[in-house]
Amino acid sequence: PESKLPSLGTTIFTQMSALAQQHNAINLSQGFPDFDGPHYLQQRLAHHVANGANQYAPMTGAQPLREAIADKTAERYGYKPDANSDVTVTAGATEALYAAITALVRTGDEVICFDPSYDSYAPAIALSGGVVKRVALQPPHFRPDWQAFAALLSEKTRLVILNTPHNPSATVWQNADFAALWQAIAEREIYVLSDEVYEHICFTDAGHASVLAHPQLRERAIAVSSFGKTFHMTGWKVGYCVAPAAISAELRKVHQYLTFAVNTPAQLAIADMLRHEPEHYRELPDFYRARRDLFIDALRGSRLEILPCEGTYFLLADYSAISDLGDVEFCQWLTKEAGVAAIPLSVFCADPFPHTLIRLCFAKQEATLLAAAKRLAAL
Ligand code: PMP
Ligand code: GLN
């Protein structure tokens, strides 16, 4: 058939994980932990399966989970969404992003993204007939340029998509960034899609700044999160979004025909986890900070230059002292010849991204990180 997405191939994550497997490389490319999530969470899943929670969950999400999400949001961001009208459980953050974009973007609408940006946004926008406008973020700090942002605003601007903590740059927004965003769009009817899947993996003193903590912005925002990241269970594919009732109602119209509902026992198990073991996500910054620091320490002797890492479980490294290759070729070489798989940054950008940066995932056991660092330090 004539392709609706002619320039699109298979995602870089699938490509690099396959290449890593083929060459028996240590896989620091696709972002996922090589350790298991909490034992309690697994036990609760088994419990709910054994107790007959095996039929469709409510379309909007299991009630105990929506309530636990509303309470967690209140605890973290000082704002309690209505569990019935404002919280929707989705099949991972990926589904939430797709449903949000599909619900909001009409043919010819413009959507502003910050590049590098996560790879699922642009195809969803294209399938809705929208047009992506990009603000380039520059290394090493990847701060938004608000003048460049303002220059992109037009009558057609419908949606802004942001991501903090940011994959792949590992930088985070501060409250001042949200204030600047509000100032730029206050007078216009523009919605905000805030991808906050790494909300609990933030290392700054100020902590994660959520769109939900901004009283005006949250009136037009959809905040998206993922339990895959928070509970080390990327394969469970349970995420959610929080948005005002009117926006949630539109999003649910898409969600009900995209997946209808998310698997029941996993939702109930996650609700138990949020209620009974909140220390898990409260301690997540320390948990990942220790891994980040161990990995950075182990890389000290290497010729890679490590960039600042304020959040997420990704670390950026500049390899220009090692190779003249472009980043895609370098990552292929690194996988095949050095036995470490990484993600090239240029794949997250539509425009040329003339930097020599790779993304390394440190959601790994100590032994994995030390073994990878040894190989990288030998280059
Ligand atoms: N957004 C970002 C920025 C991500 O890094 C990811 C996961 N890699 C997702 C969305 C998708 O999350 P999920 O696996 O829950 O669908
Ligand atoms: N979000 C993960 C990453 O950035 C990958 C998710 C996927 O493979 N689709 O590595």
* The model scores a pTM over 0.95: yes
Cβ(31) – ligand 2 distance below 6 Å: yes
Q: Is 323 in the pocket of ligand 1 (CB under 6 A)?
A: no
Task: State the distance from the centre of ligand 1 to the C-alpha of 226, rounded, in angstroms.
Answer: 7
* One domain, residues 106 and 214: yes
Q: Is residue 265 reached through a cis peptide bond, with omega within 30 degrees of 0 on the bond before it?
A: no
Predicted local distance difference test score (pLDDT) of residue 364: 98
Cis status, amide bond into 168, omega within 30 of 0? yes
Whether residues 114 and 221 fall in one domain: yes
Among the residue ranges 91-95, 134-138, 187-191, 348-352, the one predicted with the least confidence is: 348-352
323 and 358 fall within a common domain: yes
**341 forms bridges with which residues in the sheet?**
27
Write down the pLDDT at residue 99: 98
What pLDDT score was predicted for residue 30? 96
Residue 247 lies in a domain: yes
The stretch 147-174 carries a mean pLDDT of: 98
**Residue that is last in its domain, among 221, 253, 277:** 277
Co-location of 182 and 296 in the same domain: no
pLDDT of residue 155: 98
**Residue 167 CB–ligand 2 contact under 6 Å:** yes
3-state helix, strand, coil in the chain (%, to 5): 45, 15, 40
Determine contact, residues 319/344, Cβ cutoff 8 Å: no
Q: What pLDDT digit, counting tens, does each position of 92-137 carry? A: 999 999 999 999 999 999 999 999 999 999 999 999 999 999 999 9
72 is a domain residue? yes
**Contact (Cβ atoms closer than 8 angstroms) between residue 122 and residue 101:** no
Ligand 1: atom nearest CA of 94 is 16
- Amino acid letter for position 97: L
Q: Give the gyration radius of the chain's Cα atoms.
A: 20
Whether residues 58 and 92 fall in one domain: yes
- Is there a domain that residue 228 lies in? yes
Q: What is the DSSP letter of 345?
A: G
What pLDDT digit, counting tens, does each position of 18-65 carry?
A: 999 999 999 999 999 999 999 999 999 999 999 999 999 999 999 999
Query: What confidence score (pLDDT) does residue 56 get?
Result: 98
167 lines ligand 1 (CB under 6 A): yes
In this structure, the answer to whether residues 155 and 182 fall within a common structural domain is: yes
Strand-pair category, 221-226 with 157-163:
unpaired
In this prediction, residues 262-289 reach a mean pLDDT of 98
Q: Which two tokens stand for residue 52?
A: 């007959």
Q: What secondary structure does DSSP assign to 198-266, as a single string?
A: TTT-B-SSS-PPPGGGSTTGGGGEEEEEEHHHHTT-GGG--EEEE--HHHHHHHHHHHHHHTSS--HHH
259 and 294 share one domain: no
Query: Ligand 1 in contact with 311 (CB < 6 A)?
Result: no
Which atom in ligand 2 lies closest to the alpha carbon of residue 234? 6
Q: Which ligand is nearest to the CA of 161?
A: 1
The rounded distance, in Å, linking the Cα atoms of 243 and 224 is 9
Which pair of structure tokens corresponds to residue 273?
A: 């986890």
Helix (H) or strand (E) holding 343: strand 343-344
Task: Tell me, yes or no, whether 47 lies in a domain.
Answer: no
In a shared domain, residues 113 and 188: yes
Whether residue 64 is found in the same domain as residue 21: no
Mark whether 122 and 235 lie in a shared domain.
yes
* CATH number for the domain that contains residue 315: 3.90.1150.10
| Segments forming the whole domain that contains residue 313 | 12-30+283-377
Tell me the mean pLDDT in the region 222-234.
98
**CB 31 less than 6 A from any atom of ligand 1:** yes
Whole-number percent of the chain with pLDDT over 90: 99
Residue 234: exposure state from Cβ atoms within 10 A (0-12, 13-18, ≥19): middle
Are 266 and 339 in a shared domain? Answer: no
Q: Based on the structure, what is the number of domains in the chain?
A: 2
* pLDDT: which is higher, 67 or 301: 67
ipTM: 0.98
Query: How close is the Cα of 321 to the center of ligand 1, in Å?
Result: 31
Question: What integer best gives the mean pLDDT of the chain?
Answer: 97
Instruction: Report the distance separating Cα 362 and Cα 359, nearest Å.
Output: 10
In a domain? residue 37: no
What ligand has the least distance to the C-alpha of 226?
1
**Domain final position from 277, 299, 328:** 277
Of 89, 121, 351, 79, the closest CA to residue 236 belongs to: 89
- 70 and 157 inside one domain: yes
User: What is the maximal distance between C-alpha atoms in the chain?
Assistant: 58
Q: What is the pLDDT of residue 2?
A: 94
Residue 66 lies in a domain: yes
Domain boundary among 220, 242, 277: 277
CA of 138 to the centre of ligand 2 (A): 22
Measured from the CB, is residue 195 less than 6 Å from ligand 1? yes
* DSSP structural state of residue 90: E
Which amino acid, residue 1? P
pLDDT in the model for residue 17:
96
Residues 110 and 100 sit within 8 Å (Cβ to Cβ): no
Looking at residue 158, its pLDDT comes to 98
